[in-house]
Amino acid sequence: MQSSQRFPAAAVACAALSWVTFAQAQSAPLQAQVDALIEKVAELERKQHGADVPPSAAVPSNAVTGGATKGSFKLPGSNTSVTLGGYVKLDAIFTNPSAGVGSTADQELEAPNIPVGANAKSGERNQLKFHARQSRLFGATATPTPWGELTTYVEGDFFGTAGTETVSNSNGLRLRHAYGTLGGLLAGQTWTTFSDPATYPETLDFGGPVGVVFARQAQVRWTQAFSGGRWSLALENPETVASLPSGASFRGDDDRLPDFAANVHFDTSFGKYSIAGIARQLRVDSPSSPAVREQKLATAFGVNGVIPSFGKDDLRFSAYAGNGIGRYSIGFLSDALVDADSHLVAPTQWLAMAAYRHYWTANLRSTLALSGVGVSNPAGAASGVNKSSESAHLNVIWSPTPQSNVGLEYIFARREVQGGDSGNLNRVQASAQYFF
């Protein structure tokens, strides 16, 4: 607090000089006291002008400093903020019956691998599996530039090449995301622009609901903000997966044009919504039996949303339809079929998902997610081609700290093929997740 009785520094200085003259005339021993008084006057003058604040100590050139974003740091001599993170997750999964021998279907829900018909009863029953393959690592950077912020992001998990369970589960690292942005331009691998990951429900199951658009792939994307939202246009990696009359899948890498995807996102006081669309060239050029050299234009559209409910609760939904969904349905649907006359057919497809998340307490919540996917295959399609699938997830997740989750989830799924055979899957999953 400042004193209301403070004298101006100049007046104090004059008094000090007068005192000096008097002291010199009276006695030399007073000289030391005079010098001390002059120093006090100078100190008051410095405080009055703020000169008593020492300059900040210079940061050593070889020091690591805090970055511009939360949890980031800057390396010596760099203006790039670096963030490292990820999580460790253990899943314990009990399945009846087993789904997909020799695949990852016993570690995540994979609708195409649910046994049907006679195989639905011949699979291994009451199977228990522990794994930590969902554990994740990421690195991100942010650098200011005259063109806007330049960012990079690389992320991987361990759902790559599977290791042996005999001695060590040495599962391979798999690339999930690797992209950079400069202003509105994104280039690299990340979620397809045809999807809206913000609407994915919270599940312990890594595979998630069967009825969502889900793909990560290389692309070039431009995003532009507008009042109340943003729009994005992208050219993405093409891939045509066709079902042959025998039921086998054909992947010829015959694509000549990129997939064109678009998304318009709206932020409103009533929730967040998006409209997505895709246009694709489906192409097969195979001189082998059956000989097929055809291409078709396929399109699809969808809507997504997150609607706030009571308290922290929310309702999430997505719905897509068209003849261009194909492999974007987590691989359940083929992009096209080759009929008996060796013509390429792109059937009508659809998928939908709805999920409600309820918070019992601030750190205890549950999600119920229901979803489905289907296709109108043409007459003559192979009996083993997928026709429809449904899934349900119900869980309870507790977060004892903001950096951890512990949960239990029940999963039901069903698959039906063109010939009418079907099969069900029941699964209970427990998980522990720790973020860093």
User: What are the phi and psi torsion angles at 12 (to 5°)?
Assistant: -65, -40
Give dist(CA 299, CA 260) in Å, integer.
Answer: 10
User: Peptide bond before 245: cis, by omega within 30 degrees of 0?
Assistant: no
What would the two tokens of residue 134 be?
A: 């969902």
What is the residue-averaged pLDDT of the chain?
88
336 forms beta bridges with 242
Q: What is the layout of strands, in order, in the sheet containing 242-243?
A: 249-250, 242-243, 336-338, 344-345
Q: What is the pLDDT of residues 100-150, one digit of tens each?
A: 555 688 899 999 999 998 777 666 678 899 999 999 999 999 999 999 999
- Give percent of the chain above pLDDT 90: 68
Report the predicted TM-score, pTM, of the whole model to 2 decimal places.
Answer: 0.84
Q: Read off the pLDDT band of 44 (50, 70, 90).
A: low
With residue 331 as reference, give the H or E element that holds it: none
Q: What is the pLDDT of residues 169-212, one digit of tens each?
A: 889 999 999 999 999 999 999 999 999 999 999 999 999 999 99
Would you call 119 helix, strand, or coil by DSSP? helix
| Contact between 193 and 236 (Cβ < 8 Å) | yes
Q: CA–CA distance from 427 to each of 51, 117, 351, 395 (Å)? A: 71, 19, 22, 12
Q: What is the pLDDT of residues 394-408, one digit of tens each?
A: 999 999 999 999 999
Q: CA–CA distance from 38 to each of 7, 35, 148, 157, 311 (Å)? A: 15, 5, 54, 70, 67
| Contact between 306 and 314 (Cβ < 8 Å) | yes
| Contact between 357 and 365 (Cβ < 8 Å) | yes
What would the two tokens of residue 275 be?
A: 């409209």
Other C-beta atoms closer than 10 Å to the C-beta of 2 total 5
Q: What is the pLDDT of residues 221-261, one digit of tens each?
A: 999 999 999 999 999 999 999 998 888 888 877 889 999 99
Q: How far is CA 168 from the centre of its chain?
A: 29
Beta-carbon contacts of residue 4 (< 8 Å; ≥ 6 apart): none
Residue 40 pLDDT > 80? no
Q: In the prediction, which pLDDT does 14 show?
A: 44
| Contact between 368 and 394 (Cβ < 8 Å) | yes
Helical segments of 202-256, H only: none
Q: In the prediction, which pLDDT does 35 show?
A: 67
**Closest to 287 in 3D by CA, of 342, 340, 337:** 342
**Closest to 240 in 3D by CA, of 322, 339, 340, 346:** 346
Q: In the prediction, which pLDDT does 9 show?
A: 45
Please give the average per-residue pLDDT across 280-304, as a whole number: 89
Type of residue at 430? A
Other C-beta atoms closer than 10 Å to the C-beta of 324 total 25
Helical segments of 368-430, H only: none
Beta-carbon contacts of residue 196 (< 8 Å; ≥ 6 apart): 213, 263, 265, 274, 276, 304, 318
Q: How far is CA 61 from the centre of its chain?
A: 35
